Amino acid sequence: MLKPCQIHQSQSAQTLLFPVPAKPLIHGHGSNLASFPVCVRPSIMFPYKKPKRVGRGFINSGKVKAVLSESEKSTRVKAVITVKRTVGGILTNLGLQRGLDDIQDLLGKSLLLELVSADLDPKTGLEKKTIKGYAHRTRIGENGTVEYEADFDISTDFGKVGAILVENEHHKEAFLRDIVLDGFPSGPVTISCRSWVHSKFDNPQKRVFFTNKSYLPSETPSGVRRLRDEDLESLRGNGEGERKSFERIYDYDVYNDLGNPDSSEELKRPVLGGKDHPYPRRCRTGRPRTKTDPLSEERSASVYVPRDEAFSEIKQLTFQAKTVYSGLHALVPSLETVLLDRTLGFPHFRGIDSLFDEGLKMPPTEDQGILKNILPRLIKTVTDANDALQFEIPETMDRDKFFWFRDEEFGRQTLAGLNPCSIQLVTEWPLKSQLDPKVYGPSESVITKELIEREIRGFMTVDEAIKAKKLFILDYHDLLLPYVSKVREIEGTTLYGSRTLFFLTLDGTLRPLAIELTRPPIDGKPQWKQVFTPSWHATGVWLWRLAKAHVLAHDSGYHQLVSHWLRTHCATEPYIIATRRQLSEMHPIYRLLHPHFRYTMEINALAREALINAGGIIESSFSPGKYSLELCADAYDKQWQFDLQALPADLIHRGLAVEDPSAPHGLKLTIEDYPFANDGLVLWDVIKQWVADYVNYYYPDPAQVESDPELQAWWTEIRTVGHADKKDEPWWPVLKTPSDLINIVTTIVWVTSGHHAAVNFGQYTYAGYFPNRPTIARTNMPTEDADEQFRENFFAKPEEALLQCFPSQIQATTVMAVLDILSNHSPDEEYLGEKMEPAWGEDAVINAAFERFNGRLRELEGIVDDRNANKKLRNRCGAGVVPYQLLKPFSEPGVTGKGVPYSISI
């Protein structure tokens, strides 16, 4: 056993007591140091070297100070760097590199900082020399942080600090939360980093962090102009090579990584993006091409996203994050073990109810622990030995077990359900297809005037109903019909083109009138189409229920692929890439948009990995099957316009509103009780006012918008590169004035916050009980060329026919579990307007504007509550009706059916 040594002092040397760890050090745990001292001679361990002069100071080991001559006036400034404690970062990872990093911390050589002056040298016109110093670890915070400190003596002629360069001396990356410079006469200077800093051993280039004060390009302090340009240049990369996980490079690519042709010819998919299949662009990863298809990119276990787009540590450790998607690989095989027949449907409705009452017994596997962590609400321990996948009862079903059966609920959900942005006003009669009749058959609908007038029982004629704006439609006819033949070749599914007509009643509710299902000419058979209506006899009632199941499957597919994925996740990724590539972090518009982009790129990468990929959840469980993303590209080509993503423009385009300066929000709604529009327009106005206050402050002169080179490059890149396949469309807004900028930014903010919340966080509430929103229809209508046996079975047991049409057991349970995940709010969710971004708080005017923004959102909370209590509003209040809260701004964690996050974070 080593014994404490005596201390000897002499003029030549001094022996120190230096504690050496008995086991490898773990950062953040001082108790890991050995409790006994060991004699270490500093001349051996720390050979003395004359301090090297760097800039205005000296660098030495340990606690380093910048030393100035007594003749110079200076200010002593302390830099406190807060590093967030992480599982994957610098605070763990035992081994040789970890040990080297511990020694670096002990030597005070963890992080090298360089202070950059905001001003040029007035004598030379050149940048002033930076002031360098090493930071040393000083404190372990209680909130999961570690603090490092460095001291600087800053001469008075140095001026204000404009930026800080950081070099990470560790072998592992570090997450810097912020740097606070304290000691200036004007008060502390905070630089919010919130970024991963790579190890210098991975990349020798230093990271630059600018102060929180925002600047237009023309107003950039002279001392940091070069750094502003160079930082943007580094983020763009050179478009070559495979991206590495620690990099922060943003570039564009087409969707060529959804298929897996090297695994199977069945998993080959067309490239989305380009002339054949127009589509938004995604982030480039640079992975090599597949061996069997030179157009496709190889898939990998981990998909590159720029480092700062990755999930926070908390999000990684909660079941809403990366483990969710990887966990699907554990869930599906477990279900397949229990449900041996992938095509097996539910034998009776009691079997569906048992998913909520008893659950599905799960086999004991190595993945059981993973599943418990991923699905804590759903995996229940029923005995000491067995677990069950037991679903929570959705609020809709809890309030009214038969809600899904009722036609009034079918109509109500088109206005206040999961997909409230597809309903359109009927403006012309007869209804006609725009498809080629030579290919798809006669274009005119078989929904006749006589049929509609019979259904509304003489209340008015069709012409009068159209004039009075009483007829509405869900029209998936032309989008789906070209896919019918292809989808029907897939075993276990079918497809139609569909139209569903509704009538606006005196109560302000929508009454379903008719469903038309169409099959194009196929296998030598002519076009088939038939109209189904609510009926008063048994056969008609069951045919109507089956027709509704088909339409709901169409609506579910459209919702997931277009209203949700395309309009929010997919269309937003180019905005993020362009913002990073063209707007400096100093730019006020970058800082306005930044919270609206958090985590979206990683969510999208994970979706390409497990949800929208070939053979993934969407393809295996939703109506268009393997053609799902191809259909999504068609919707982008035919329907997507940037200007129509603004809520007011969308409502006007669908005939659900007209401009009226005297009406609230400047719009008169066609359906007064339209919960999505009612709440959405309040939220839209609140967002627009906040954006207007912000933009008008930074652009007091309208000419500044058109003369801002970063801003113009940003908007040009979004239009011509990010959405390259639509670059020549005439509907793109121009960007010349503050008003133009306000409208563009408000649209982006609405899409990432309000629109996404409206179509995402109600998924389990409305589709958790899948008969309400089946994701796939597996059998044809009994009246379409059915064989005699099929007809007999339908007449004998119509309930079985409906259950066979519904998703199979494995399809339903998989989707239900995924929807529970996607409907969850993370514990670290950041809600719109709840917390202020650090850069916004730097300016009193923006600070005050944000406080008004927050106050208006609090008012919206009360408005929603009042509306949900108003019994006159039949689409959001009534017996067994779930109140509409999806656009209520704030929420607690979990599946709550409310809450509007800043960004598309799940």
pLDDT digits (tens, 9 = 90+) for 126-156: 999 999 999 998 988 777 789 999 999 999 8
Q: If pLDDT is split at 50, 70 and 90, which confidence band does 458 have?
A: confident
pLDDT reported for residue 340: 66
Distance CA 370, CA 328 (A): 10
Establish whether 27 is a catalytic residue.
no
> Catalytic: which of 212, 613, 743, 760?
760
From-to residues of CATH 3.10.450.60 in the chain: 422-560+771-807
* DSSP one-letter code for 891: -
pLDDT reported for residue 100: 53
Cβ pair 128, 117 in contact under 8 A: yes
Phi-psi category of residue 107: left, alpha or beta, with phi > 0 → left and psi -120 to 50 → alpha? alpha
Q: Which of 132, 140, 141, 213 is nearest to 167 (CA)?
A: 132
pLDDT reported for residue 631: 98
Choice between 332 and 402, residue whose per-residue pLDDT is larger: 402
Is the model's pLDDT at 565 over the cut of 50?
yes
Distance CA 256, CA 368 (A): 34
Distance CA 735, CA 378 (A): 49
pLDDT reported for residue 678: 98
Place of tokens 């996740």: 569
DSSP assignment of 53-67: EETTEEE-SSS-B--
CB count in 10 Å sphere of residue 133 = 28
Burial class of residue 35 in the structure, from the number of CB atoms within 10 Å of its CB (0-12 exposed, 13-18 middle, 19+ buried): exposed
> Catalytic: which of 171, 277, 564, 665?
564
CB count in 10 Å sphere of residue 204 = 9
Mean pLDDT of 305-319: 67
Is the model's pLDDT at 679 over the cut of 50?
yes
Q: What angle do CA 584, 590, 594 make, to 5 degrees?
A: 125
Q: What phi and psi, each to the nearest 5 degrees, are found at residue 430?
A: -75, 165
Question: Cβ neighbours of residue 420 under 8 Å, at least 6 residues apart?
Answer: 413, 414, 674, 675, 676, 677, 758
Lookup: tokens for 92: 């763990």
Establish whether 906 is a catalytic residue.
yes
Phi-psi category of residue 41: left, alpha or beta, with phi > 0 → left and psi -120 to 50 → alpha? beta
Mean pLDDT of 642-664: 97
* DSSP one-letter code for 762: T
Provide, for the chain, the percentages of residues in helix, strand and coil under a 3-state DSSP scheme, each rounded to the nearest 5. Answer: 40, 15, 45
Establish whether 665 is a catalytic residue.
no
> Catalytic: which of 678, 756, 846, 904?
756
Distance CA 69, CA 885 (A): 65
Q: If pLDDT is split at 50, 70 and 90, which confidence band does 88 have?
A: very low
Rounded to the nearest angstrom, the gap between the alpha carbon of residue 744 and the centroid of all alpha carbons in its chain is: 19
pLDDT in tens, 155-185: 989 999 999 999 999 888 889 999 999 999 8
Q: If pLDDT is split at 50, 70 and 90, which confidence band does 315 have?
A: very low
- Average pLDDT, rounded, for the chain: 87
pLDDT reported for residue 360: 83
Question: Cβ neighbours of residue 49 under 8 Å, at least 6 residues apart?
Answer: none
pLDDT in tens, 228-273: 999 999 999 999 999 999 999 999 999 999 999 999 999 999 999 9
> Catalytic: which of 27, 170, 559, 569?
569
pLDDT reported for residue 342: 81
Locate all alpha helices (DSSP H) within 81-221, ordered by sequence. Answer: 96-106
Choice between 10 and 545, residue whose per-residue pLDDT is larger: 545
Q: What is the CATH number of domain 74-211?
A: 2.60.60.20
pLDDT reported for residue 622: 95
pLDDT reported for residue 33: 34
Distance CA 134, CA 152 (A): 10
pLDDT reported for residue 140: 85
Residue 744 parent element (H or E):
helix 738-750
Per the DSSP assignment, residues forming a β-bridge with 887 are none
pLDDT reported for residue 62: 40
Establish whether 456 is a catalytic residue.
no
Per the DSSP assignment, residues forming a β-bridge with 114 are 132, 165
pLDDT in tens, 27-81: 333 333 333 333 333 333 333 333 333 333 333 334 444 444 444 588 999 999 9
Distance CA 681, CA 856 (A): 13
Residue 693 parent element (H or E):
helix 675-698
pLDDT above 90 covers what percent of the chain?
75
Cβ pair 386, 364 in contact under 8 A: yes
Is the model's pLDDT at 386 over the cut of 90?
no
Distance CA 859, CA 298 (A): 50
Cβ pair 159, 118 in contact under 8 A: yes
Task: Give the amino acid at 419.
Answer: N
Establish whether 760 is a catalytic residue.
yes
Distance CA 417, CA 395 (A): 13
Residue 89 parent element (H or E):
none
Is the model's pLDDT at 356 over the cut of 90?
yes
Residue 755 parent element (H or E):
none
From-to residues of CATH 2.60.60.20 in the chain: 74-211
CB count in 10 Å sphere of residue 400 = 17
- In 570-713, the DSSP E strands lie at 657-659, 667-669
Is the model's pLDDT at 101 over the cut of 60?
no
Which SS3 state, helix, strand or coil, does residue 669 take?
Answer: strand
Cα dihedral 422/423/424/426 (nearest 10)? 140
pLDDT reported for residue 385: 53
Choice between 69 and 611, residue whose per-residue pLDDT is larger: 611
pLDDT above 70 covers what percent of the chain?
84
Is the model's pLDDT at 736 over the cut of 90?
yes
Question: Cβ neighbours of residue 31 under 8 Å, at least 6 residues apart?
Answer: none
Length of the chain: 906
Question: Cβ neighbours of residue 584 under 8 Å, at least 6 residues apart?
Answer: 210, 217, 228, 231, 232, 590, 710
Residue 499 parent element (H or E):
strand 497-504
Mean pLDDT of 846-871: 98
pLDDT reported for residue 293: 95
Is the model's pLDDT at 310 over the cut of 70?
yes
- The top-level CATH class assigned to 422-560+771-807 is alpha beta
Lookup: tokens for 420: 């409230």
Task: Give the amino acid at 705.
Answer: V
Is the model's pLDDT at 599 over the cut of 80?
yes
Q: What phi and psi, each to the nearest 5 degrees, are found at residue 35?
A: -85, 0
Model pTM greater than 0.85? yes
pLDDT reported for residue 48: 35
pLDDT in tens, 505-520: 999 999 999 999 999 9
Task: Give the amino acid at 827.
Answer: P
